[in-house]
Amino acid sequence: MRPDLSRIADVLAGDAQADRVVPPTGFTAWLTLFSAAAMAFLAVFALALSLATGRLADRWAGELAHSATVRISAPAGQLAAQTEAALKVLRTTEGVKSARALTDAEQRALLEPWFGPDLPVETLPIPRLVEVVETDEGFDAEGLRLRLAAEAPGAVLDDHTRWRRPLARAAARLRFLGWLSLGLIGGAMAAMITLAANAALAANSQVIGVLRLVGARDDYIARAFVRRFTLRALGGAAVGAGLGALAVLMLPEAQRAGTFLTGLGFRGWHWLWVLAVPVLAGLVAYAATRMAAFKRLREMP
Amino acid sequence: MIELDDVAYSYGGGELLSEIKLDLQPGSFHFLTGPSGAGKTTLLKLCYGALVPTSGHARLFGKELRGMVRDDIAVARRRIGVVHQDCQFLDHLTVTENIALPLTVSGRDLLAESANLKELTQWVGLSNRADAKPPELSGGERQRAALARAVIMSPDVILADEPTGNVDWEMSQRLMRLLIELNRMGKTVMIATHDLALIRAAKSHVQARVLRISNRRLQLAGADL
């Protein structure tokens, strides 16, 4: 069903006299308000999850793409020579922008989370790591591996593809699940509002009979119900989205825990999505109540 | 205005009305009588499009009822004022709001109609009950409020189903006087009632046709009425 904006505007503008013709119904009012608020709260989290996984996927892709590592494992006496040989190969490889061996301090920092500070890396048989930055075109990994095997037999090229792919796939799947959750939340809200609207229409069948008796068109009767449910859903969803946003704001900042995690939350203009949640809830309520009302009115004698 | 031509109506496998011929001419006054369960209410409902004939033709203001969509029927009902025995009010609204309901649903500006509304409330003698809720009204007051609601749109036809069923003789006479007054203003009136005394009393004030439903068919009543 395509929402007609002028109709929606009419519904929101309302008619004080028309609003009075349908009696207030406490049970359906609370059901709509509560379900809209709860669904909007969940929607904010699903949205935050989708956006965070999106950022995570981009970050992983950004951090791991265009970079590779060469690990050189060799007896202590040959390590420096093999490192130099590997660097020479790398500097003359097409598609390699830069290559440099990590210093002891940098290697110590990498191992610090596992072994703590003050690790005597100089005395341990730890492989030397060479950081390789690719050009946009990238290099031929297989060709490079063959050349390294010939010049520096202890060098192993890791172009990150092996673990970048599953990470990217996991992030994409999480993002999809987030959007799917949003869809399901919208569907569940539509179902609950439809139920509430049907209950209200059934409870007011006598009112509808009187309105028809005095010449009310079905559109007029439907509008009285649609306006009520749309505004209730809008109000409930605004409260739910507000609480959801507050809860997201109060989440601990994951950035501090590690550079790979971006944290569940909104960044920059993504906060505008929170404002869209009540509006979308209102649209869902409008469409669901309108369909329910017209179906019910058609079925009534 | 309203025409039933060889109309039959069946419900639940049984025929309630058969071979009905009725033509409500402008300004005419009809009584519809018959025993309880004879089909008076059903016939009235056919007249205002709440029921569609099983066979035959019903025409509202020249339009075939069977070809009318719901919106057409809604518009036609604004030209037909209906008074029910049980009145059918919206209990959460005041008497004035109930009387104004046809204006409200047709999108008229109530402020512009306020003088008309006040005059009508006064005409049916409910000025002092304007802000009361329907459950607070007596039977006679309810019927008068229902009559006021039926005529607020200045309809061409007024159909009343046992309007005096729940009121005493004095009140029923008062209601009849209002209906006769409306007929004198040019409105077509049809009243369904099983109260023959009421019909006899009214006939001295208005030239009315008395129709009787007997054995599912509509007949002109005898000279005793």
**pLDDT tens over chain B, length 225 residues:** 899 999 999 998 889 999 999 999 999 999 999 988 889 999 999 999 999 999 999 999 999 999 999 899 999 999 999 998 888 899 999 999 999 999 999 888 888 888 889 988 998 889 999 999 999 999 889 989 999 999 899 899 999 999 888 778 888 888 899 899 999 999 999 999 988 888 988 888 889 999 999 889 998 886 566
Contacts of B149 in chain A (CB under 8 A): 214
Best mutation target among B86, B90, B154, B159 (most A Cβ atoms within 10 Å) is B90
Contact A216 B105 (CB under 8 A): yes
Contacts of B113 in chain A (CB under 8 A): none
> What are the tokens at A154?
């202890």
pLDDT the model gives residue A257: 47
Contact A215 B75 (CB under 8 A): yes
Best mutation target among B105, B142, B153 (most A Cβ atoms within 10 Å) is B105
Contact B74 A217 (CB under 8 A): yes
How far apart are the CA of B76 and the nearest CA of chain A, in angstroms? 8
Best mutation target among A20, A213, A220 (most B Cβ atoms within 10 Å) is A213
Contacts of A219 in chain B (CB under 8 A): 71
pLDDT the model gives residue B222: 67
DSSP-assigned letter for residue B68: -
Q: Which domains does chain A have, with CATH numbers?
A: 5-61+165-299 (no CATH), 66-159 (3.30.70.100)
Name the residue in chain B with its Cα closest to that of A209.
B88
Name the residue in chain A with its Cα closest to that of B109.
A17
Contact B97 A213 (CB under 8 A): no
DSSP states of chain A: ----HHHHHHHHH--HHHHHHSPP-HHHHHHHHHHHHHHHHHHHHHHHHHHHHHHHHHHHHHHHTTEEEEEE---HHHHHHHHHHHHHHHHTSTTEEEEEEPPHHHHHHHHHHHH-S---GGGS-PPEEEEEEE-SS---HHHHHHHHHHH-TTEEEE-SHHHHHHHHHHHHHHHHHHHHHHHHHHHHHHHHHHHHHHHHHHHTHHHHHHHHHTT--HHHHHHHHHHHHHHHHHHHHHHHHHHHHHHHHTS--GGGG-TT---SS--GGGGHHHHHHHHHHHHHHHHHHHHHHHHHHHH--
How far is residue A253's CA from residue A255's CA, in Å, rounded to a whole number?
Answer: 6
Contacts of B50 in chain A (CB under 8 A): 212-213, 301
Indicate the residue of B70, B75, B88 with minimum beta-carbon distance to A213: B88
Best mutation target among A205, A214, A294 (most B Cβ atoms within 10 Å) is A214
Name the residue in chain B with its Cα closest to that of A207.
B90
> What are the tokens at B73?
């029927």
Contacts of A207 in chain B (CB under 8 A): 90
Contact B90 A207 (CB under 8 A): yes
In order along its 301 residues, chain A shows pLDDT tens digits of 455 667 666 666 667 677 788 887 777 788 889 999 999 999 999 999 888 888 877 777 776 667 889 999 988 888 889 999 999 999 999 989 999 999 888 888 888 888 887 777 777 788 899 999 888 888 888 899 999 999 989 999 988 776 777 877 888 888 888 889 999 999 998 898 888 888 888 888 889 999 999 999 999 999 888 988 899 999 999 999 999 999 998 887 655 544 445 567 888 888 999 999 999 999 999 999 999 999 989 988 7
The Cα-based distances of A24 to A30, A195, A201, A206 in angstroms read 11, 17, 12, 14
Contacts of B75 in chain A (CB under 8 A): 215, 217
CB A36 within 8 A of CB A189: yes
Contacts of A300 in chain B (CB under 8 A): none
Name the residue in chain B with its Cα closest to that of A19.
B104
How far is residue A133's CA from residue A110's CA, in Å, rounded to a whole number?
Answer: 18
CB A101 within 8 A of CB A130: yes
pLDDT the model gives residue A260: 46
Contact B70 A217 (CB under 8 A): yes
Contact A219 B71 (CB under 8 A): yes
Contacts of B42 in chain A (CB under 8 A): none
Residues of chain A with a CB closer than 8 angstroms to some CB in chain B? 17-18, 20-21, 23-24, 206-207, 209-220, 301
Contacts of B153 in chain A (CB under 8 A): 215
Contacting residues for B118 by C-beta, under 8 A, at least 6 apart: B127
Indicate the residue of A209, A215, A220 with minimum beta-carbon distance to B88: A209
Name the residue in chain B with its Cα closest to that of A222.
B105
Contact A23 B92 (CB under 8 A): yes
> What are the tokens at A147?
């050349």
How many Cβ pairs closer than 8 A exist between chain A and B?
A: 60
Contact B74 A210 (CB under 8 A): no
| Length, in residues, of chain A | 301
> What are the tokens at B106?
């047709």
Indicate the residue of A18, A23, A214 with minimum beta-carbon distance to B102: A214
